[in-house]
Amino acid sequence: MKQKKYDQKSALIGTFARVADDYNQSVYLAQVSAEAMIDRLKLMITTPDTILDIGCGTGIFAQKLQQHYPQALIIGLDICHNMLENTVMTQPLSLVANACFVPVKSDYFDLITINLGLYWGDFEPIIAECSRLLKVNGLLLFSTLGPDTLKEVRQAYHRHYLIDMHHLGDQLLQLGFTDPVMETEQLQFEYHNKQLLQREYQALGLQHLIQLNDTIENQSTVTFEMIYGHAWRKLPPVQQDQITIPLSSIRKKSEYGF
């Protein structure tokens, strides 16, 4: 089992290393979802001083975060060093690390963002690590792909990683977050030729999750199911549920008259 996980990680790093140079020109979807996430942040009352952008790639979303929060310290994290070398961030502060084991102290960030980076590993350990890294009342904001992605051209997909928004919301509650808000959107893209679709498919690394069928030869319009979610890190359970009652206020049973 350990060897299998290592191979999957290595394959993922290799995939992104190969597409890093052309990544910015190949992933229109990442640009669209980045804009949608910024639009959601504009509706929230939060002014973070410290931000972690997990799976930042070449910094497509981190750059927009810089523009929206110019005063904030923004760290872009990615598992692939080649991606970070091609960053578009104007003030890059980057970290090569696994999202499940981030070498930063607990309770450090006010905001953690993940743009199209959740379907690369088990949801639970990544979000548990976000809970550790966030300050109390810190915000987690993410976008990911749902199970209807590429439904027109796929033969099969990995159900363990592309899961619906209701399951994602339930897991957020179980992992120490409160007030989860989940939204889904069906985006239809039209490609002029199959090479453009293949470029995006490869750049997003979807070959590790979705097996395409032969209809891609003639299909120009495909669907990406986008899931957007956010939730707040709540107080640790021991603090949230603990109630202090002075001994002097506890009356004896005989005092109640029953």
Model pLDDT for residues 101-148, shown as the tens digit of each residue: 999 999 999 999 999 988 877 789 999 999 999 999 999 999 999 999
- Contact status, residue 208 vs residue 11, Cβ threshold 8 Å: yes
**Half-sphere exposure (CA, 13 Å, Cβ side) for 240?**
10
127 vs 39: CA distance, rounded Å: 22
- The predicted model scores a pTM of 0.83
- CA pair distance 88, 129, nearest whole angstrom: 26
CA dist 130 and 177 (Å) reads: 10
- For the stretch 151-188, pLDDT in tens is 999 999 888 889 889 999 999 999 889 999 999 999 99
| 64 pLDDT above the threshold of 90 | yes
| Averaged pLDDT, 18-33 | 74
Task: Give the DSSP H/E element, type plus range, for residue 150.
Answer: none
Residue partners of 127: CB distance under 8 A and separation at least 6: 140, 171, 172, 175, 177
> Which H or E run contains 111?
strand 109-115
